[in-house]
Amino acid sequence: MNKVATIAGSDASGGAGLEADLKTFAEYGVYGLAAVTLVATMDPDREWAHSVFPVERDSLEAQLKTIFSGVGVDAAKTGMLGSSYAVELAAWYLGEFKIERYVLDPVMVCKGAGEALNPELNELVADLLLPLALVATPNLFEAGQLAGMETPTTVDEMKRAAVRIFERGAKNVFIKGGSKLPGQQSAIDIFYDGKDFNQVEGALVDTTWTHGAGCTTAAAIAAGLALGLDPYESVSRAKKFITYSLKGGFALNRWVGPGNPSAWRKGFN
């Protein structure tokens, strides 16, 4: 059984974070393990405003030990880390246990939160985690932050950001333009392996129910890597997977709607 670990926050609403990751791992037929970095909650009395409760350092370290020196894994991903000690611990365990199939989802914003969550952590993530990543999966905003440039608004700018992020250490860079790139008829992402660019296109899914899309995509890539796919194959398959998930999205309440990682069962190809 192929095993994949997520080091991520728990999203009490179930659509993002390690909940999205574990659902995705199950759909891929891989065994999921999870180290919880923080607990994220949403408040119906405050328009679904997010709060974040970090998990204590000792607890996080004990979880990582359980996973890496206990069970062992074929691949790993990180999501929302939320503290400098979570970034440092993740980097130490991923490095010490030579986890080669590691996907870095540099979560800097939450849908609904509007602004960067922990701007002071961005450089630490870039310095400690980018060099370990087989695949980094920033969205447009995160790509701009990691590349030290404005948020890309064109495919050319995405390519420039990808080159900078590669130069900072990620072996493969997958920038998710998705539905956010202005003036496009399809959801355009860019994959760069240090030599070639591939434009990864999917149907533009007309939905506002996209909560957890980034987590699900990165989890699908990590699961693909654990199954032995190469980075580009993993990304291509993840793109199909997330397109189905978004098509299967639904309204959870009047503020938010998640994708549905099990939607591919209605017709994956």
Interaction site with ligand PXL (CB under 6 A): 8-11, 16-17, 40, 79-80, 107, 110-111, 212, 214-215
Distance in Å, CB of 47 to ligand PXL, minimum: 14
**Residue among 108 and 188 whose Cβ is closer to ligand PXL:** 108
CB of 195 to ligand PXL, least distance (A): 30
Rank residues 136 and 227 by Cβ distance to ligand PXL and give the closer one. Answer: 136
Smallest gap from Cβ 15 to ligand PXL, in A, equals 7
Residue type, 86: A
CB of residue 156 to ligand PXL, shortest distance in Å: 27
21/193 with CB nearer ligand PXL: 21
CB-nearer residue toward ligand PXL: 113 or 229: 113
